[in-house]
Amino acid sequence: MKVDQRASVIASGEIEVAADPEVVWEVMTAIDRWPDWNPDVKSASLVGTLAPGSRFSWKAGPGTITSKISQVERLRTLAWTGRSFGINAVHVWVLETRDGKTVVQTEESWEGLLVRLFGSVMRKMLQRSIDAGLLHLKTEAERRANL
């Protein structure tokens, strides 16, 4: 799965994590536990199992986001779509093992009226979120790897 390349706003990032992909995957996919390691996520709740078609709700910033998992490829790819405040989002995580570490790549696209009206502000907001999320993920995965 890929983000919407025609979207008004797209942001991406990459980080190297000194942990095995299994550890990174465990942190990423335990959606109900996101608030434990990412202070930007106030709540998160997965309905059912981690599988395409499953839904989860989460609160980050001012609104609650309703998301639907679109792709799960264990230890490799996690993708979902989401909607909040009329913004349609597509988010993709990809893991790759490189030199004994896990490289995490993530990309998200936003489309909708608000995004088109406030594109520059929204782009900066999304990029800050991507960058912060990657740092929080790295910190938690490396903490768990060193237990």
Rounded Cα gap, residues 83 and 38, in angstroms:
20
Considering the entire predicted model, what is its pTM?
A: 0.95
Looking at the chain, the whole-number percentage of residues with pLDDT higher than 70 is: 100
Rounded Cα gap, residues 144 and 25, in angstroms:
12
Q: Dump pLDDT digits (tens) for 39-80.
A: 999 999 999 999 999 999 999 888 899 999 999 999 999 999
End-to-end CA distance of the chain: 34
Residue 59: predicted pLDDT: 95
| pLDDT, mean over the chain | 96
Does 147 score more than 80 pLDDT? no
Does 18 score more than 90 pLDDT? yes
Edge to edge, the sheet with strand 63-73 lists: 9-17, 101-111, 87-98, 77-84, 63-73, 55-60, 41-47
Q: Which domains does the chain have, with CATH numbers?
A: 9-29+70-145 (3.30.530.20)
Residue 105: predicted pLDDT: 98
The number of beta carbons lying within 10 Å of the beta carbon of residue 58 is 22
